[in-house]
Amino acid sequence: MTLFRLMTRWFPLRVVGLALTLTMVLSACGSEPEWDLRDVSGLLPDLDYELERAADGATVTEDAYAGEVRVLFFGFTNCPDICPMTLQKFSQAVRSLEGGADEVRVLFVSVDPERDDREKLREYVSAFGDRFVGLRGPEPVLRDLAKRYRVTFGYGEPDEAGYYDVSHSSAAYIFDREGNIRLLARQDSSIGEIERDLQRLVGQ
């Protein structure tokens, strides 16, 4: 005999229905809604870096934009697809935020310091909006930072013209206002998913 039939045998159906409804409501109230992006809270280190800002050449750390929700993404300006597509997604998502666009900062870290000088990097990120910041540094510093967030990057063999490709991880890391790691956006994450989770973080 099922639990429902057993309950209705001893209690009026009206009482059983009320009890089940109350149980469902209390269960819903006690659980947090799931994130659209991957929740990596506590699985990766909090925000920590010391790099050169392309806009003015100043050395900045994680404290530069304290109090804002920050996105950390590694790439390079000659990237033909992943970088512009990812940055465009975040650009659209940030612009769609309801009153929270000024509270999100996207940090684009170049892993190609040989070609991405300050001017080139500054012009590149400015195309996506004023909430985007270009950061650069010497390769050893970049290697240490990439290792911190389990990012990989490498360089291909130069062709006759000296052009070489750069391979790199495509994930974007999202930190809350205190610099705590919270979410990971992957290449297949949609603009809507990014927007909803950014909006939720801004509101916390």
| pLDDT tens digits, 65-124 | 999 999 999 999 999 999 999 999 999 999 999 888 899 999 999 999 999 999 999 999
Percent of the chain clearing pLDDT 90 (strictly above): 77
What would the two tokens of residue 134 be?
């270009």
CB 86 within 8 A of CB 170: yes
Q: Residue 32: its pLDDT value, please? A: 64
More confident residue, 26 or 59: 59
In this model, does residue 20 exceed pLDDT 80? no
* CA–CA gap between residue 57 and residue 175 (Å, rounded): 24
The pTM assigned to this predicted structure is 0.83
Q: Quick one: average pLDDT of 125-129?
A: 96
Q: Are strands 104-110 and 69-75 parallel, antiparallel or unpaired?
A: parallel
Cα–Cα dist 8/65, whole Å: 60
Q: Give the burial string for 119-132 (b: 16+ CB within 10 Å, else e).
A: ebbbebbeebbebb
3-state secondary structure of 120: helix
Per DSSP, the three-state class of 111 is coil
> Tell me, what DSSP letter sits at residue 76?
-
